[in-house]
Structure 1
Amino acid sequence: MSTVDKQAVGEKFSPDAMEHARVMTWKAVQQIADAIRPGMRESEANARAKAILQVLGMERIWHPVIVRIGENTLRTFRERSADDPVLGSNDIFFVDLGVVWSQHEGDAGATFVTGDDPEMIRCAEDVETIHDEVAEHWRSTGCSGIALYDYAAARAETYGWRLNVDIKGHRVSDFPHAIYKAGDLGEFAAAPAAGLWVLEIQIAHPTRPFGAFYEDLLA
Structure 2
Amino acid sequence: MTSLPREIVGARFDPALMQRAREKSWAALHGIRARMHPGISEIEAKAAAREVLGALGCERLWHPVIIRIGANTVKTYRQASDPGVRLGENDSYFIDLGLVFDGHEGDVGDTFIVGHAPGRQACAEAARALFGEVATAWRSQELSGHALYAFAGERAEAMGWRLNHAIKGHRVGDFPHAIHQGGDLGDLEASPSGGLWILEIQIAHPTEPFGAFHEDLLTA
TM-score by length of 1: 0.98
Aligned residue for 2:185? 185
Alpha-carbon RMSD across the aligned residues, in angstroms, is 0.8
* Residue 80 of structure 1: aligned partner: 80
* 2:17 counterpart SS class: helix
* Residue aligning to 1:33: 33
SS in structure 2 of the partner of residue 35 of structure 1:
coil
Give 2:42's aligned residue.
42
How far does residue 47 in structure 1 lie from its aligned partner after superposition? 1.0
For residues 135 and 44 of structure 2, what CA distance do their matches in structure 1 show? 33
| 2:109 corresponds to | 109
Q: How far does residue 51 in structure 1 lie from its aligned partner after superposition?
A: 1.3
Q: For 2:50 and 2:187, how far apart are their aligned partners in 1?
A: 32
**Is the counterpart of residue 54 in structure 1 residue 54 in structure 2?**
yes
Is the Cα–Cα contact under 8 Å of residues 43 and 84 in structure 1 kept in the other structure? no
Q: Residue 198 in 1 paired to residue 198 in 2?
A: yes
Letter in structure 1 aligned against 2:130:
I
Distance 2:82 2:116 in 1: 24
1:112-151 to structure 2, matched below 5 A, reads: 112-151=112-151
Render the CA deviation track for 1:150-172: whole Å, top value 9, x for unaligned.
00011111211000000000000
Q: What is the SS of the residue equivalent to 2:106?
A: strand
In structure 2, what is the equivalent of residue 160 of structure 1?
160
Question: Contact 1:105–1:175 at 8 Å: present in 2 too?
Answer: yes
Q: Which amino acid aligns with 1:171?
A: R
AA aligned to 1:42 is E
Deviations 1:56-112 (A, max 9, x none): 110101100010000110110111111131100100100000000010000000000
Q: Over residues 115-137 of structure 1, what are the superposed CA-to-partner deviations in whole Å (9 max), with x where a residue is unaligned?
A: 11111110011100100110010
Look up the match of 1:212: 212
* Worse-superposed segment, 175-184 or 163-172: 175-184
Check if 1:97 corresponds to 2:97: yes
* TM-score normalised over the length of structure 2: 0.97
- Match in the other structure for 1:20: 20
Identity %: 53
Amino acid at match of 2:73: T
What is the aligned residue count?
217
* Alpha-carbon distance in structure 2 between the residues aligned to 1:25 and 1:198: 13
Q: Secondary structure at the match of 1:81?
A: coil
Hey, what's the Cα distance between the residues in 2 that align with 1:8 and 1:74?
A: 33
Distance, in Å, in 1 between the alignment partners of 2:4 and 2:131 is 26
Structure 1: segments with no counterpart, 5+ residues: none
Q: Which runs of 4+ in 1 moved over 2 A?
A: none
Q: Distance in 2 between matches of 1:22 and 1:149?
A: 22
1:50 maps to a residue whose letter is R
Q: Write the deviation string for residues 1-54 of structure 1: whole angstroms up to 9, x where unpaired.
A: xx7220000000000000000000011111111111001111101111111101
2: CA distance, partners of 1:46 / 1:85? 13
* One-letter amino acid of the structure 1 residue matched with residue 5 of structure 2: D
Deviations 1:163-211 (A, max 9, x none): 0000000000000001112111001001100000000000000111010
Q: How far apart are the structure 2 equivalents of 1:23 and 1:181? A: 25
